Amino acid sequence: MSEEQAVVAAPLDYDIRKVLAALPHRYPMLLVDRVVGLTIGETIHAVKAVSFNEGFFQGHFPGRPIMPGVLIVEALAQTAGILAIESLELAGTGKLVYFMSIEEAKFRAPVEPGVLLDLHVGFVQKRARVCKFWGKAMLGDKLACEVSFTAMIADQPA
């Protein structure tokens, strides 16, 4: 891997503006706030600031707010989307990254309001149209969720 391929982004280098440019998601479904580190073709580290103001906390669960596991997996998938877009040079092509499968999802610790959820994702396999990823959501040094998943690269629907 050349030095140009192994690019690590600085914290302010991939802020919310770049996240919005990379992903089609918007509030309330945008679950990535910034990218902390990115090694093109290999791994990404992003962050989600989990706020008590998130709509899902009203009903999940009153008196004991916990971020739904499916949204933790979605945050990891969005992080993988950024990794794929940057690694496969898809920015501006109109291509989208779609879930194909979720495997071996394990939830180890509840994610509560007021935390920074560290999202670590890497390629397991990378092809032009289908990519496999591993993902880990961390609360500091504590594992909250781990999952393997597959996504496909496709054109936007007409």
**Is residue 29 assigned to a domain?**
yes
The domain total for the chain is 1
Q: In terms of DSSP bridges, do strands 95-107 and 115-126 run parallel, antiparallel, or are they unpaired?
A: unpaired
| Amino acid identity at 64 | R
Tell me the average pLDDT across 119-144.
97
pLDDT at 13: 78
pLDDT at 157: 85
Calpha distance 25→14 (Å, rounded) = 16
Between 9 and 71, name the one with better pLDDT: 71
Give pLDDT tens digits for 100-109. 999 999 999 9
* All residues at 6 or more sequence positions from 42 whose CB lies less than 8 Å from its CB, including other chains: 6, 87, 122, 123
The chain-wide mean pLDDT, for the chain, equals 92
Is 42 strand, coil or helix? coil
**Is residue 27 assigned to a domain?**
yes
Residue 39 has pLDDT above 90, yes or no: yes
Write down the catalytic residue from 25, 45, 60, 120.
60
Calpha distance 68→96 (Å, rounded) = 24
**Is residue 92 assigned to a domain?**
yes
pLDDT at 77: 98
**Is residue 68 assigned to a domain?**
yes
Strand partners, 121: 44, 135
- Give the domain range for residue 138: 16-155
Q: Catalytic annotation on 60?
A: yes
CATH code of the domain containing 149: 3.10.129.10
* All residues at 6 or more sequence positions from 23 whose CB lies less than 8 Å from its CB, including other chains: 30, 32, 78, 81, 82, 85
pLDDT-derived band at 95, boundaries 50, 70, 90: very high
**Is residue 118 assigned to a domain?**
yes
**Is residue 1 assigned to a domain?**
no
Residue 47 has pLDDT above 60, yes or no: yes
**Is residue 117 assigned to a domain?**
yes
Residue 52 CA neighbour count, 13 Å, CB half: 4
pLDDT at 3: 46
Degrees, nearest 5: CA angle 134-139-140? 105
pLDDT at 158: 80
**Is residue 67 assigned to a domain?**
yes
